[in-house]
Structure formats: C-alpha cells, structure tokens
Structure 1
Amino acid sequence: MTTAVIERKWHTTAEVADMLGFGLSKTKMLVLTGEIRSVKVGRNRRILPAWVDEYVERCAAEAEDMRWSA
C-alpha cells in the first residue's frame, strides 16, 4: 500500500508572514497593496506558494538592480 502525501496548495497570511520572517501586519499590508498576490476564499485570504516565490524573486531583483546602479 502506498501513502499519498498531500502538499499544501494555499498558505494563510500568517503562514506567509512566518515564512518571510515578517510581522503579520506587514504581510497583510503587502497583500492589501497587491505586492503579494492573494485570493479571497470566504472571509479569508489565501496565497499560493508560487506567489510568495514571485514576491521574493521581485525583491531580490530590485535589490540587485539597486546594487548595480549605486
């Protein structure tokens, strides 16, 4: 018998805050301003792992651009 491993498809705002090492308020602001994409499911916001990766990659690219322009 094989056991299927179900991976999480969505993250809560609190989980994303923990992953990024940010406070919950900062993460909620990033979601509200659209810097981190999210969808509303009922009364809650949910964030795909790929959207967290997009945010991190965008921040890293901006930091790299600033490094070379300084």
Structure 2
Amino acid sequence: MSVTVIERKWHTTAEVAVMLNFGLSKTKMLVLTGKIRSVKVGRDRRILPVWVDEYVTRCAAEAEQEWCA
C-alpha cells in the first residue's frame, strides 16, 4: 500500500501573514494593492506559494538596490 502526500497548493491571507511575520491587516493591504498576487475563490483570497516567494524576492532586490545606491 502506498501513501500519497497531498501538498498544499494555496495559502490564505492569514497563513501568508504568519509566514511573513506580518499583521493580517498589512498582508491584506499588500494583496489588495497587488503587491502580493492572489486570486479570488468565492468570497476568499488564495495565494500560491510562488507568489509569496516573488514578493520576498522583490523586497530583497529593492533593499539591495537601496544599499548599493
């Protein structure tokens, strides 16, 4: 008998807030302004893990530019 592990495909805004160590309000604002991509599923927002990574990478690149300027 084999065991299938189902990996999470989506995160909620609250889960992303915890991942980034941000408040829920700040995370919701980042989603609503498009700084973190998301899709609306019914009444809820869902965020792909890669979109969280894109946001972190973009923030790091912006910080790097500030330090190098």
Query: Under TM normalisation by the shorter chain, which class is it?
Result: over 0.9
**1:2 Cα offset (Å):** 1.1
2:2 & 2:19 partners in 1: Cα distance?
A: 30
Match of 1:54 in 2: 54
Match of 2:17 in 1: 17
One-letter identity of the residue aligned with 2:44: N
1:57 & 1:14 partners in 2: Cα distance?
A: 20
Alignment of 1:1-70 (within 5 A): 1-69=1-69
1:13 & 1:3 partners in 2: Cα distance?
A: 30
**1:61 Cα offset (Å):** 0.4
Once the two structures are superposed, residues 7-38 of structure 1 have per-residue CA deviations (whole angstroms, 9 ceiling, x without a partner) of 00000000000000000000000000000000
Identity of aligned residues (%): 80
Once the two structures are superposed, residues 17-66 of structure 1 have per-residue CA deviations (whole angstroms, 9 ceiling, x without a partner) of 00000000000000000000000000000000000000000000000000
**Greater than 6 Å deviation, 4+ residue runs:** none
1:2 & 1:25 partners in 2: Cα distance?
A: 42
1:22 & 1:12 partners in 2: Cα distance?
A: 13
How many aligned positions are there?
69
TM-score by length of structure 2 reads: 0.99
TM-score by length of structure 1 reads: 0.98
Unaligned runs of 5+ in 1: none
